[in-house]
């Protein structure tokens, strides 16, 4: 995807949050573009003062990309269970990042050491599934968890499993992302 497309997706996300907060924020976006109507999976991450403020997304494409970004932006702002809902006063203090996910690809690992060897730091987002337990980290999380062992341990913890857990039927999959980010909230967004 192109930079211009990324700017459109950021505008779609910000406009959706503004509408959900009943704010008067208009950014003209032509949502009829064919690429916006193609099915796509996205994650929308909100930060405030360089700290996570919300992150919600879709691992699989099941609706038009524009609808996915719009819905995930509102959910990240208002429904991430880790945070209180975003207030209208905070709207100008958040920065939005939109990540578009590739389709997932299963990692066929014989054991945990094999899984760790197959992980690509800085490139792969990873999905972990075991029974009713499921979690994912976007590739951006490698910035904080640089070692594959640590990355996998925290992914298990996020799913609600012990960090030293491993089972033969634990499933791992990888994906990559294209991402765009506002730098420091709305002020930078408006001025480029």
On whether both 184 and 171 belong to a single domain, the answer is no
On whether both 85 and 131 belong to a single domain, the answer is no
29-38, 83-92, 140-149: which range is least confident on average? 29-38
User: If you search the block for the tokens 């939005």, which residue do you land on?
Assistant: 96
Residue 127, domain CATH: 3.30.1490.150
On whether both 183 and 98 belong to a single domain, the answer is yes
On whether both 95 and 181 belong to a single domain, the answer is yes
d(CA 72, CA 67): 8
- Annotate 116-171 with three-state secondary structure: HHHCCCCCCEEEEEECCEEEEECHHHHHCCCCHHHHHHHHHHHHCCCCCCCCCCCE
Say yes or no to pLDDT of 97 above 50.
yes
The whole-number pLDDT of residue 27 equals: 76
The whole-number pLDDT of residue 2 equals: 60
Domain containing 75: what range? 3-102+177-191
On whether both 153 and 82 belong to a single domain, the answer is no
**pTM of this prediction?**
0.88
The whole-number pLDDT of residue 29 equals: 75
Contact 166, 114 (CB under 8 A): no
On whether both 37 and 96 belong to a single domain, the answer is yes
Contact 29, 8 (CB under 8 A): yes
Say yes or no to pLDDT of 152 above 90.
yes
- What distances in angstroms separate CA 151 from CA 57, 59, 96, 118, one per listed residue? 19, 18, 24, 13
31-40, 48-57, 127-136: which range is least confident on average? 31-40
On whether both 158 and 120 belong to a single domain, the answer is yes
Which sign does the torsion angle of CA 14, 179, 79, 72 carry? positive
The whole-number pLDDT of residue 1 equals: 53
87-101, 102-116, 174-188: which range is least confident on average? 174-188
What are residue 56's DSSP bridge partners? 44
Per-residue pLDDT of 171-192, as tens digits, reads 999 999 999 999 744 433 333 3
The whole-number pLDDT of residue 32 equals: 81
On whether both 24 and 83 belong to a single domain, the answer is yes
pLDDT more than 70, % of the chain? 94
| Number of domains, the chain | 2
On whether both 126 and 54 belong to a single domain, the answer is no
d(CA 181, CA 167): 37
pLDDT average, residue stretch 69-86: 97
């Amino acid at each position: 995807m192109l930079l211009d497309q990324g700017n459109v997706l950021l505008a779609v996300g910000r406009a959706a949050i503004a509408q959900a907060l009943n704010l008067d924020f208009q950014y003209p976006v032509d949502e009829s573009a064919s690429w916006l109507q193609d099915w796509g999976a996205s994650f929308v991450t909100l930060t405030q003062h360089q700290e996570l403020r919300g992150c919600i997304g879709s691992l699989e494409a099941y609706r038009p990309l524009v609808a996915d970004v719009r819905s995930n932006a509102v959910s990240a702002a208002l429904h991430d269970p880790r945070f209180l809902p975003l207030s209208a006063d905070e709207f100008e203090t958040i920065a939005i990042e939109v990540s578009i996910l590739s389709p997932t690809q299963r990692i066929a690992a014989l054991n945990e050491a094999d899984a760790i060897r197959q992980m690509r730091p800085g490139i792969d987002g990873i999905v972990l599934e075991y029974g009713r337990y499921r979690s994912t980290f976007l590739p951006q999380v490698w910035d904080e968890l640089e070692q594959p062992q640590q990355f996998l341990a925290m992914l298990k913890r996020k799913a609600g499993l012990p960090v030293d857990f491993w089972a033969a039927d634990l499933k791992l999959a990888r994906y990559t992302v294209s991402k765009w980010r506002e730098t420091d909230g709305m002020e930078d967004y408006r001025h480029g």
